[in-house]
Structure 1
Amino acid sequence: MAQFFVVHPENPQARLLKQAGQLLADGGLVAVPTDSSYAVVARLDDKTAAEALRRLRGLDDRHHLTLLCRDLAEIGHFARVDNRQYRFLKMATPGPWTFILEATREVPRRVSHPSRKTIGIRVPDHRVTLALLEAAGSPLMSTTLIPDGEDDPMNDAQAIFDRYANQLSAVIDGGACPRQPTTVIDLTGEAPEIIRRGQGDLSALGLD
C-alpha cells in the first residue's frame, strides 16, 4: 500500500521528501507533481523499477522514459550536448519541456531508445519535483502518469492514490498541477523538431 505525503507546494517539507527518497532507494515507484502533470519516478540504476514503471503505464521498450535532472550541468553528464544545443537548453531550462538528445554511456540501455540511442531529458520547474531530486541525490527516470488506454494525464493526488495504491510506494500531494504532458522537442537534428505539443509556450523558445 502506497504512503501518502501531503507537502507544501512552495516549501515542501524536507523530512517527508527524505522518506520518499528512501522509498525510491528501496526500489519503489513514486508519483510526484511537476510543472506539466503528475509523473511516476524511479531510480535510474534500478532495472526492476524501470520494468515496473513500464508495466504501470503499459509502455514497450521503444517508448522514451524521461530523465529528470536538477540542472543544466547534470544534463551534460547523461546527454551529448554541443554548443548549439547548450545555448538552446540554457534558454529553455527549467521548464515543461522534454528534450530528445543523444545519450551518453552513463544512461542504462533500458532507459534510452533501443535503436536510436537517444534519451528524453528535462529540468522541471516545480519546487516539489526539484526537492525530491535533491532528496534522491541523483536524476530519476520518469514518465507522465497517463493511465494505460487513456489519453489524458492525471493531476489529482487522491485520485492517483485511489487508483494505484497497490502499484506505487508513495504519492506526493503537492496540490493540483497542469493536466498536460510536457512538450517534446527533438534536438538531435539540424534544427529543433517538435515531436509533441503539450505544456509550455513555444513562442518563448522561438519555435511558434
Structure 2
Amino acid sequence: MDTKVWIVDKYVDKLENNPQVVDAAHFLRENEVVALPTETVYGLGGNAESDEAVAKIFMAKGRPSDNPLIIHIADKQQLTRFVKEVPEKAERLMDKFWPGPLTIIFKKKHGILSEKATAGLDTVAVRLPDHPVALALLQACQLPIAAPSANSSGKPSPTNAGHVLDDLNGKISGVLDGGPTGVGVESTVIDCTESIPVILRPGGVTKEQIEAVIGEVQLDPALLDEASKPKSPGMKYKHYAPDAPLYLVNGSKVFLQELVEEKQRDGLRVGILTTKENRSEYNAALVLACGKRSELETVATALYDTLRAFNQEKVDIIFSEMFPNTGVGHAIMNRLQKAAGNRIINE
C-alpha cells in the first residue's frame, strides 16, 4: 500500500475547502484510515460507524481488540447521535475545555457506532480536538472519527508526521501533515458516567484544572497502584516504550551517574533522559534534554520525540530522571512509568 502524504500549513492555508483536506476526507468516507494532527499527538483516524474502517485501525497499529478508541467530533451537536445523555458535570467540562485535550466518557446509544470502536462496552469516549487541521477534516467528512495515536501499538506516540511514517508507512492510506503537535501527551480521559467523575488517564488537562470547574474528582486507583485493575481496558497495556529498556531513577544526580558508569563498564551504550537544567551534570553516550524541569509543559511537549531519538542513536539502556507527580507532571510520569514497564531504581 502506498501511503499518501498531504501537507497543510495551518498558519497560511485556508482550511475550509482546502483540496488536501477534502481529499483526506474522501478517503475517510471510503472507510480508509488517515493519520491526522491534533493538539496532543497525531491520531490514526477512521469512520467510527464502520466496522471495516475500525478493523483497519486495529490492524495497522497491531492494537489489542479490547482497547476501545476515542471518538473525535467536529462540534458538540454530533454527540446527540450516539450518546444517551450528557450529565451536567460533563456539560460544564465541555464548556470549559472543548475544543481541547479532554476526553469524556458517556453512556452510548447502541447500533450507531461500530462495536469494535467501543470494544463492546456500554460507554463511549469522545473529544473535540483543538487543532485547525483536525477540525477542518472532521467538518469536511461529517463523520465521527475513531482515532487512537498513529503509532505501532506500544511505541512512543507520534508528535509529527515523520513519526507516523516511521511506524505506519505502507500500512495506512495517508497522512495529513499539519506540522508538529503542541501539548505532546495525549488527552486526559475522565469518566462522567459516575456521580463523582473518575480520571482514567492523566493528560493535557490536569486534575486541578478539572476540580476548579466541577469540584471533586477521583483518580482511577490503578494510576496510583499498579496492582489494581484499571477501569480503562487500554491502561493495562504497555505503551510509549523506546526500543532499549528504560529505567526510572529515583535518586540524586550522583546516584544516576554511578548507574551509568556501572553499565558502561559492562560495555553498554547508555542514554540519559534529563532536562536542560541538568544536561551538563551527566557523562554518557547520549544525554538528551527533554524540555525544562522548571516548565513541565515543555517536558510533556518533547517527551515522545525524545524517546524516539534514543531509537535513532541505538543505545542499549536508558536511565531517566523522575518528575513531580502534580499538574502535567502526573501525565509525564504516567507515560514514563508505562514506557519503563514500571521499572524504578531507588537510591
Task: Establish whether TM, by shorter chain, passes 0.5.
Answer: yes
Unpaired runs of 5+ residues, structure 2, are 212-216, 218-326, 328-347
Deviation at 1:12, TM superposition (A): 5.2
Deviation at 1:110, TM superposition (A): 1.9
Deviation at 1:55, TM superposition (A): 1.8
> Residues 21 and 67 from structure 1, CA distance in 2 versus in 1: closer, same or farther, beyond 3 angstroms?
same
Do residues 112 (structure 1) and 118 (structure 2) align?
Answer: yes
Unpaired runs of 5+ residues, structure 1, are none
Q: Is the 8 A contact 1:72 1:90 kept in 2?
A: no
Q: In 2, distance between residues paired with 1:104 and 1:76?
A: 9
Q: Where do residues 47-126 of structure 1 align in structure 2 (5 Å cutoff)? A: 47-80=51-84, 81-105=86-110, 106-114=112-120, 116-126=121-131
Aligned partner of residue 158 in structure 1, secondary structure: helix
* Structure 1 runs of 4+ with >3 Å offset: 10-13
Give a deviation string over 1:155-183, Cα, whole Å, max 9, x none: 12123224322111111111101331111
Give a deviation string over 1:10-37, Cα, whole Å, max 9, x none: 4454111000011112221111110110
Alignment: residue pair count = 206
Q: In 2, distance between residues paired with 1:27 and 1:110?
A: 14
Q: 1:45 matched to which residue of 2? A: 49
Q: Is the 8 A contact 1:91 1:205 kept in 2?
A: no
Q: In 2, distance between residues paired with 1:56 and 1:64?
A: 15
Q: Is the 8 A contact 2:100 2:128 kept in 1?
A: yes
Q: 2:7 matched to which residue of 1? A: 6
Q: In 2, distance between residues paired with 1:142 and 1:63?
A: 12
What amino acid sits opposite 1:147 in the alignment? S
Q: In 2, distance between residues paired with 1:136 and 1:37?
A: 20
Query: 2:150 pairs with 145, 148, 162, which one?
Result: 145
Aligned partner of residue 24 in structure 2, secondary structure: helix
Superposed CA RMSD in Å reads: 1.8
Deviation at 1:77, TM superposition (A): 2.3
Q: In 2, distance between residues paired with 1:109 and 1:184?
A: 20
Do residues 184 (structure 1) and 215 (structure 2) align?
Answer: no
Q: 1:193 matched to which residue of 2? A: 198
Aligned partner of residue 128 in structure 1, secondary structure: helix
Q: Quick check: which has more Rg, 1 or 2?
A: 2
Give a deviation string over 1:39-75, Cα, whole Å, max 9, x none: 0001123212211111222223321111101112212
> Residues 148 and 64 from structure 1, CA distance in 2 versus in 1: closer, same or farther, beyond 3 angstroms?
same
Give the percent of matched residue pairs that are identical in Structure 1 and Structure 2: 24
Q: In 2, distance between residues paired with 1:107 and 1:47?
A: 9
Q: In 2, distance between residues paired with 1:148 and 1:83?
A: 35
Deviation at 1:93, TM superposition (A): 1.2
